[in-house]
Structures are given as C-alpha cells and as structure tokens.
Structure 1
Amino acid sequence: MVRKRFMGISAVLLITVFILMACTDEETAIAAEDAATYGIIETHMSTEEKLEDFYYMYKLLEDNYPFFNVNKRLYNVDWLKNKKKYEKMIKITKNDAEFFVAIDKILNDLNNPHTHVFNGNVYRSYYKHFYPDEHPVLNYEKSMKRYGFDGNVENIGLDSDFDFLATNDEVLKTAILIENKVAYMKIDSMSYNHIKEDYAKVEKFLKEVKDYEKLIIDIRGNTGGFDDYWKNIVGFLIDDTLKAEYYCFYRGNYRDKYDLYKVPLSKPIRKLDEEALRKFPSEVKEDYDYYTKNLVIVKPWNILDFKGKVYLLVDRYVFSSAEKFASFAKDSGFAILIGEPTGGDRVFAEIPFAYLPNSGLVIRFSAELGINNDGTINMETKTTPHIRVDATPNEDFTKDACIQAAIKD
C-alpha cells in the first residue's frame, strides 16, 4: 500500500516536472528564418561569443536602463531576475539568425518601443539619417560586417517602421468638418523631411480657418519623430510664449562614452533640493545619478489671431516626440486633450545606440526617466487626457467618439 502510494506520488511529481520543462522550453524556444530575412550576415558565432554579447547587453542595461521597476509594476516582468531564462534562450540558439531573434525577444520583455535590436533595414535607415557624420556606434567595423553594409547610402530606402526619420508618404491631412465652425488636422508622423514642406501647408490651412470656433488636431497613432514639426503648428496658433518644464533623471555612465549621448547641463542628484526629491517616487533618489530640468518653450512667430479652442486627440500609441507634444499641450494650456492615456516616454536627450562587441548587432535603449508635472513617472502614468472617451478612430467623423467629444464640448 505504501509502495503504491509512493509510486503514485512519484508519477505525479514526474508529470509536474515534465509540464514545467515543457513550459520552460516554450518560454525559451527560438524559431527563426534565415539570416537574410533580418538583413544580417551569418558568421557562425560560437555559444561563448553569443553569451559574452548577452552578458555585455545585460550589464549595460542593468547600469543604465531606467524602467525596470516600471516594467514590474505595469507588466509584472522582472527583467533582471530573468537572467537565467535569457541565458538558456541564448544557449539553445543554433545560428546567428536565432541569436538575433533571441536578443529581440529578450529586449521585447522590457515593453518599451525605444528599446530594440536593429535589423538590417533599421540599421541602414539610421546610418543614412546620421550621414555624412560618422556615428560612433553605427560605424563599428563588426556592425557594418554584420549588416553587410559598405557605407554607401545612395540606394538606402528608409524602413517603414521608422518613417519618422523621413518618408515620402503624406503625413498631414486637413479637413473642414463643420463649415465656419470646426476645422480638423490629422498628423500621422512628426516626419523629419516634412517639417519644412508641411510648414507652408499648415500656414495656408490655418489662415483659412483662423475665425473658426474649434480646431481639432488628431495625433492618434503618431509614434513620434521631431519636435520642430509640432512646434511649428503651436507657433501659428498662440499669441504669447508658452512654457512647460520637466525633470529628467539618468543612471550609469554609458552616456559619458560618446559626446553624442552626453547630457548638457546635467547635475548630480545630490544637488537636487530634498523638498523637490520628495515629490518624486523613492526610486529616483535611490537609483539615479544625475538630472536635468528641461524647459520647453514655444514662441508665436506668425500670429494668425486665432481665438478658437484647440483640441488634441490622443491614444495609447502616442509616443516619444508626439508624447512631448501631448504633455506640453496639456501642461501649458495650449489644448484640451481628448481620448485615452498616451504611450509615454517623453525624451529630451539623444536615445543611445550600443553595439554588441562580438556580433556587432546594434541595439537602441531608453536611458531617461521623465517626470510628469504631478511627480509621477511619464513612462508609467503617461499623459492623461482632460476628456476620456473611446480613442478608436473612425473614418466617419460623426461616429468618431473623440471628434464628437470635441464638437460637443
């Protein structure tokens, strides 16, 4: 009887072990296409070389990345404690393509769109953006070899996932929703090469609607780009200079490695007034090394004498520079925000790139903890709209909850 019970317990334990092993294998399994699919060259790295790269990346982020605690609170992911799991993922990769996919999955666990590994198209897009300046990371010899790139930018097309660098697609749409009353602007991207091009279009449209009661600016789905795009629009519509100020905190010393990533006018956190520190989450004082106060200023430069209300439509995809527009519009009083909380990660300093020493793979990672005016972490609480409604866009504006909220306000 005892023997049968023992055998029964053993069977249960074995089944449990097999289930746990199956779950673990599923968590760490890597499936990849051939290397060319990711725009990289196969160099047959050894497991030791792959692990060295992983440890380098892990330490780099451990020392410099700002959102580990935010990731735990929002997504219940303790990235640093997952080290053994990530090691296993690296060890079971059979080639460089699988290693690339493993790194991609590991970084995706951080749930931050600014943090990712470059595929070949993204690498070339950024290389072209910074050219003719020699970017200290992108010009790393092993990186150029990894991405099969000879430095010739003539035939580089820009990756669609990063079209805020430059895109030939139209990013600005305008419309009259209600004649003589409600005007509408849709901005899909703060695209670099549309800043000057769209300036004239914006001016022309705003002159046509300067006597309207309401202007709706729709940035839903806008993942960012360059601040000058949205500042041009604000400048047309204001009579007086608008300002907003934001604290940002940094940790680690990776930024000191390259002039491009250094933070001008930063100060050691010990010099920050204790009363100010008490307004921020405790991790700011405990985990960060230096800070800046960033003043966003927009001056009127082509006054149209617009007296109507401005509404800014936002959703969860509003990120980076578009997020800066959203927070500035709210905090300066420029616009009434409608929709749902944004995606966050308002940044001021250059977002760092880093190459992995053996593979040459290039990663990009957030390295700035932005604070909202209420003392909360921007990446955690985002920017909340004044009027919260379903932010789903609808081609029929009479059925679009955000647009209708602005019309009825």
Structure 2
Amino acid sequence: MKKLLRQFNVIAIILMAMLVFTACGNSVEQLISNEQLTMEDFLNDFDYMMQTMEDTFPYFGVVERRLGVDIRGLGRETRAMIENYPYSLEGLASELGISLEDMPELDEQIFWSIIRHEFFSHFLGFIHTYPLDSGLYNMLQLPYSSPSSPLYTSHNHHVFTNPTSQRFYQKQEDFFNTLAEEKGALLQFIFRGYPPVQVPSSIVKTEIIEEDKIAYLNVPSFLSFNVNTNDTLKTFYRNINKYEHLIIDIRDNGGGSPDIWRMLIMKPLWPERNNMPDMPLYAFYKGSKLGKSLGAENLKIEAQNSRNIPETDYLLTMTEIMEANNLPHINEDDVQDLAYGVRFNTSISNIEWRHMHQLRIPNIFYPFYGKIWILINGNNYSGAALFARHAKEMGFATLVGEQTGGAYTTSSGWFFALPNTGIILRWDIDYLTDSYGRALNEFPTTPHHSNRPGMDALETVLQLIEEGSF
C-alpha cells in the first residue's frame, strides 16, 4: 500500500527532454512575486480543482473502497487547512524548528505544498493522480505541447504553455534550487524532502541462465526505447528462438508506452498470428460537458493508433452500453457517476505496419514456441500493469510474483491547470473495466504463481521450471 501511494507514473511514447535543475544565487526573498495572490485566489483555485475532479474524475468510489480515502471529505479538510494557514501547519513547522513568526506567508509554493502533501499524498499516483512539480513539468512540457508529438492534444497544449503555469514552474525550479543550496528547514517544510523526478533507465538487459534452455530479459521501463535497444532485442530473440523458457522481468517497471511492449515484445514473440483474442476493454466517462468532450477527444485519438480501437466513432450512453453488453460485475454505485462510454478492442492483431512506421519501430518477427514467464510486483503501474494484464488474459505468458500496482488507462494523459496559480494536475478520466465490468483499478492483475516463502520472483520461477510445475 505504501509503495502504491508513493509511486509516480509518467506515460510517454517519446521522452523529448529532461531539463535539469541549475544553480540560482537569488535569495528566497527575491524569488517572491511582486503580485501576491490573495486567500480568495487560493481558495478559488482549490474549489476549481475539486469541481474539475467532480466533472472528470470517475474513481471517487474506487479510491474509497481500495485505499479508504474519502476524497470529498479530504478536500473539505484540506480547504480548511489552506484557510487556517499558518496555524494549520504550525505543528509541522515546530517539528522542523520554525517558529510561528518565521513561517512563510501563504503563496503559490506553500499552496502547492499543501495540495501535494496534505491532499494528493493520500492517493498519490493511484490512477495517475498528482500535481506536477518543476521536474515533471520540464520533462513533460515538450512532449505534450509540441504539435509534432504523438502525445499532443489542444487541451494539453494550453495547459503546458499558458503563461501562468510557465511562470509558476520556472519560479518553483529557482525556489527549489535556492532552498536546496541552503539545506535549511524551509526545504523540508515545503518539499518534505521530496526529490526531483529522475528518468528511469530504458536499457534492457539480457542473460542466458542455462544454455539452450532458459533465457532472461529485464525491461526496467517502457518510457522509450532506442535503436540500440531494437537491435539488442532482435539479436536476443534470434539467438534464443529454440530455448525452452524465456523469463521477462518487469519488476519495478513503472510504466510508459503500451506501444513498446505491444510492438517489441508481444507481437514479435507471438507464435500464432491468426489466433489473437480481441481483448475488449470498456472505458466510461462522466456526464459533465468537460468529461464528455475529453472522452470524445480520447476516443478520436485512440482511433488513430493501434492500442485501443473503438468499436464506434462516437461515445455511447451508459444505457446503450449496458443494454448491448453483459457487464455483471460493474459497480452499481459507480455507474451513477458515469454517463458515456465506448468498447475498445485492444488486441495485438490491431497493429499494422503504418502504426509501427509512424513510431519508427521495426517490424521484427521471431515467434517463440517455448514457455514465456513474466515477473511482476506491486511497483508495476500504467503501461507495465497493462502489459501484465494483457499477457495473462491473452494467454501470452505465465505471471510470477506479486499483484501489480494498477493505474490502468486508455489515454496518454490528461492534465488540468489551476487558473490563478498555474499549478498543473493530472488524473485519469476513463473508468476502465474488463469484459465483465470489473474496474481494473480496483482489481489489479494477480500472478498465476505468488512468490514462494523466502524466495523472490526469479528464484520462484526457476524453482517452478526445475520442478516442471507449469
């Protein structure tokens, strides 16, 4: 549970750039804006955030059932904390050696700290919920705002390029650097020791565990692959083609683009091209004007790719979907918050050459007729969690390890900017279910074989192979 709340997931097909923090010699006082926002401005931003969640976020019930967090109740508590600042955080300040008189005034950075640490921290990363810090903003700004990027939408372009957000994140970067140099209590008070975002390695590792029998492939991230990775996989697949077992280790893989595992792992290794299940998923959206428009835009985007092919060119009403499909396990309380939806076909057979050419991914084919194992754990989110689920449900591999973390979605990310501070927030807008109506984020993928006592997933799978237990 603790790992689930701590983990951040960033889905990106192309990681364009990461701008590192640079030193700044300005004092903290010099970084404070001349145009101070008022308490009313901050409360209006918070109310805007909560209303936007009401309009677009379909997981209030799932968060409460799975994590025990009442988001609406937590919102009321956090709003009161903002309204009663600095007294509401006097205890924390005192623990850090900051007196009430020396506590900083409420500004954009304190406001960000409160919503980050007092609100989102209770369900952070679950269903991609988090406020961006300057590190994430610098990482994501170009991929989500550039018209040439496959992640581009007009909605997200405005979020990342509006002047208010740009000013906030430049100021936060400078502010963090100054506090990091001083290494004082204020750094802990505002950022709580929260480190800058680091891009995980995308370098795959291969190993021969037993000659002519057991091969091993470690994939630490699905954020981006390069030409060297493509060549490595092609050579590896060719060399182990006649092996009995292939172990694919995605433990601690926080996610990334589903296109990578679809096009570079499942498609090349799948032995029966004419026998690929259609893997239906249902995505449901809230009935507000914004919820419906973003749902319709998401449908249009996915129709241009191969990950999720919509069965209709438009959103259906909940009544139409429920009458046309048997979804016996859909949560009746959650249905009351949903208004529109679509059925997606997510089969690997959707992939065409044009899709691979668009992403510059080579079309390789080395069907593997041996046994494929995938090692998973609770740090598998987003694209990695989807890989585990697809592999299990499509019969591609046997899963070994721990239950995945979740954060399933059909989109590449939707973001929202607060009007007064410019703080950018993210959460998923699609309530995703399987063909029986079960919410994937409430019921994450479980392994076929759990870790044996005293063993990790790799040790467990090697024991299973030795015993012939498969």
TM tier, shorter chain? 0.7 to 0.9
Letter in 2 for 1:214: H
**From 120, 138, 143, the counterpart of 1:124:** 138
Instruction: Tell me if 1:85 matches 2:77.
Output: yes
**From 422, 439, 447, the counterpart of 1:385:** 447
Distance 2:383 2:129 in 1: 15
1:340 CA drift (Å): 1.2
Correspondence for 1:190? 222
Which structure 2 residues correspond to residues 2-401 of structure 1 after superposition, within 5 A?
42-43=32-33, 44-91=36-83, 92=85, 94-105=106-117, 106-113=119-126, 114-133=128-147, 135-148=157-170, 161=197, 163=199, 169-192=201-224, 194=225, 196-231=227-262, 232-241=264-273, 242-243=276-277, 244-251=279-286, 252-255=288-291, 261-264=297-300, 265=313, 266-274=315-323, 276-299=326-349, 302-389=364-451, 400-401=459-460
* TM-aligned CA distance change 1:171 to 1:392, over 3 Å: farther
Could you tell me the percent identity over the aligned residues?
Answer: 25
Segments ≥4 residues shifted beyond 4 Å: 255-261, 390-395
SS in 1 for 2:261: helix
Deviations 1:224-281 (A, max 9, x none): 1111211111112112232311112111433556699543333221211336243412
Q: Compare CA radii of gyration and give the structure with the larger one.
A: 1
* TM-aligned CA distance change 1:322 to 1:406, over 3 Å: farther
* TM-aligned CA distance change 1:255 to 1:84, over 3 Å: closer
Letter in 1 for 2:299: V
Distance 1:392 1:208 in 2: 33
Deviations 1:90-146 (A, max 9, x none): 221533222111111212223434111111111111112235337121011211111
Letter in 2 for 1:235: K
Count of aligned pairs:
356
1:323 CA drift (Å): 1.2
Distance 1:224 1:393 in 2: 25
| Normalised TM-score (structure 2) | 0.69
Deviations 1:17-75 (A, max 9, x none): xxxxxxxxxxxxxxxxx9x999xx64332211110000000111122212211121122
* TM-aligned CA distance change 1:107 to 1:256, over 3 Å: same
SS in 2 for 1:215: strand
Deviations 1:293-340 (A, max 9, x none): 121222495432421010111111111111111111011110011111
1:209 CA drift (Å): 0.6
Unpaired runs of 5+ residues, structure 2, are: 1-23, 87-105, 148-153, 172-194, 301-312, 352-362
SS in 2 for 1:137: helix
Unpaired runs of 5+ residues, structure 1, are: 1-33, 150-158
Distance 2:166 2:419 in 1: 12
What is the CA RMSD across the aligned residues, in angstroms?
Answer: 2.9
| Normalised TM-score (structure 1) | 0.79
- Structure number with higher relative contact order (C-alpha < 8 Å, ≥ 6 residues apart): 2
